[in-house]
Amino acid sequence: MKMISIVVPCYNEEEALPYFYDEITKVVKTMKKINFEFLFINDGSKDKTLEVLRTLAQKDKRVRYVSFSRNFGKEAGMYAGLKEAHGDYVAIMDADLQDPPSLLPEMYHAVTEEGYDSAATRRVTRAGEPPIRSFFARCFYKLINRISKADIVDGARDFRLMSRQMVDAILSMTEYNRFSKGIFGWVGFETKWIEFENVERVAGETKWSFWKLFLYSLDGIVAFSTVPLSIAFVMGILFCFIAIAFIVVRTIMFGDPTSGWPSLVCIIFLVSGVQLCCLGIMGQYLSKTYLETKKRPIYIVKETELDHKE
């Protein structure tokens, strides 16, 4: 019998977990002749998430959990989940039911019957999300698809079911700065996209502030594109050109009137601004390289369900 592992990263999800567990067990009951394992990753939650998971693991043999020593972020949680999962197929799902478990049978059908390696979901609406957040999200997807080879789909969720082969491919990418939306596309394989309307969280609140999302989008760009590095170069050339064309030619043609203080100050500010900007771009890549070369572990485990079994 085939087994599906369902990986659920959880950070402060004590309120949502009971709903999630109810819902997923209902869906799983309808899928006959398949074994399941529910693998919860407790990403250093500060609430009672771990207690909830311990209780679930005691009453249901299919429930496993891995608890981190601190908050490592959702990316680390997903990596840990893929690594610890035993299933022939692995699904990643949020704990807040924003990824409808009811899509599972359709996803399973796609990978077993229709010859796909993975079935992924994308939401076609962003209802219930602040408009400003949706706007920046759209801009981000446009930009990253322009400047990187990884195919990153707008509205794509991390909710997807993958074959063992694809999971192993993802695990072979051990980079420290993880951006899964890019990694899923980068490894290739055939993916079937299933669309759904956005669903709001059942309980608790979002863990992603605007600032956190902004930094995450920078991670995504730096991890999957080196185009920003050449922006610095292009800007440099452009400014040399402007300097020569504008300043030299102008002086030759119109002489050198001494009253030029404001424009001079403007130029100084502009050029130094561009320089700082370019330095910043360099810094981004340098800092990522620095962290990568340390080869730190992506997560550290403090406790698993095995610690409580005799």
**By CB under 6 A, what part of segment 106-145 binds ligand UDP?**
none
Q: Which one, 11 or 186, has the nearer CB to ligand UDP?
A: 11
Per CB under 6 A, does 13 bind ligand UDP? Answer: yes
275 binds, among Mg ion, ligand UDP, none (CB under 5 to 8 A by kind): none
Q: Which stretch binds ligand UDP (CB under 6 A): 10-18, 81-89, 226-234, 256-264?
A: 10-18
Least distance (Å) between residue 216 CB and ligand UDP = 10
* H helices present in 99-196, as ranges: 104-112, 131-147, 164-171, 180-186
Q: 165: which 2 tokens?
A: 């082969």
Q: Which stretch binds ligand UDP (CB under 6 A): 6-14, 58-66, 221-229, 294-302?
A: 6-14
**By CB under 5 A, what part of segment 202-261 binds Mg ion?**
none
Nearest to 94 by CA among 158, 22, 46: 158
Q: Which one, 88 or 94, has the nearer CB to Mg ion?
A: 94
Residues 30-59, one symbol each (x = binds Mg ion by CB under 5 A, - = not), give ------------------------------
Per CB under 6 A, does 91 bind ligand UDP? Answer: no
Least distance (Å) between residue 168 CB and ligand UDP = 22
Half-sphere exposure of 243 (CA within 13 A, CB side): 11
Per CB under 6 A, does 73 bind ligand UDP? Answer: yes
Distance of CA 126 to CAs 64, 199, 243, Å? 32, 9, 46
**255: left (phi > 0), else alpha (psi -120 to 50), else beta?**
left
Contact 33, 68 (CB under 8 A): no
Q: Which one, 176 or 189, has the nearer CB to ligand UDP?
A: 176
Residues 163-202, one symbol each (x = binds ligand UDP by CB under 6 A, - = not), give ----------------------------------------
Residue in 64, 77, 166, 183 binding ligand UDP, rule: CB under 6 A: 77
Count interface residues toward ligand UDP (CB under 6 A).
16
Nearest to 65 by CA among 31, 88, 95: 95
Sheet bearing 156-163, strands edge to edge: 191-196, 118-123, 156-163, 89-92, 3-10, 35-42, 63-68, 301-304
Q: Which one, 73 or 185, has the nearer CB to ligand UDP?
A: 73
Contact 57, 63 (CB under 8 A): yes
Q: Which stretch binds ligand UDP (CB under 6 A): 107-115, 139-147, 204-212, 262-270?
A: 204-212
Residues 57-96, one symbol each (x = binds Mg ion by CB under 5 A, - = not), give -------------------------------------x-x
- Write the CB contacts of 262 (distance below 8 Å, at least 6 apart in sequence): none
Contact 288, 223 (CB under 8 A): yes
Contact 53, 23 (CB under 8 A): no
DSSP states along 200-228: --SSS--S--HHHHHHHHHHHHHHH--HH
- Contact residues: ligand UDP, CB under 6 A: 9-11, 13, 43, 71, 73-74, 77, 94-96, 98, 206-208
- Contact residues: Mg ion, CB under 5 A: 94, 96, 98
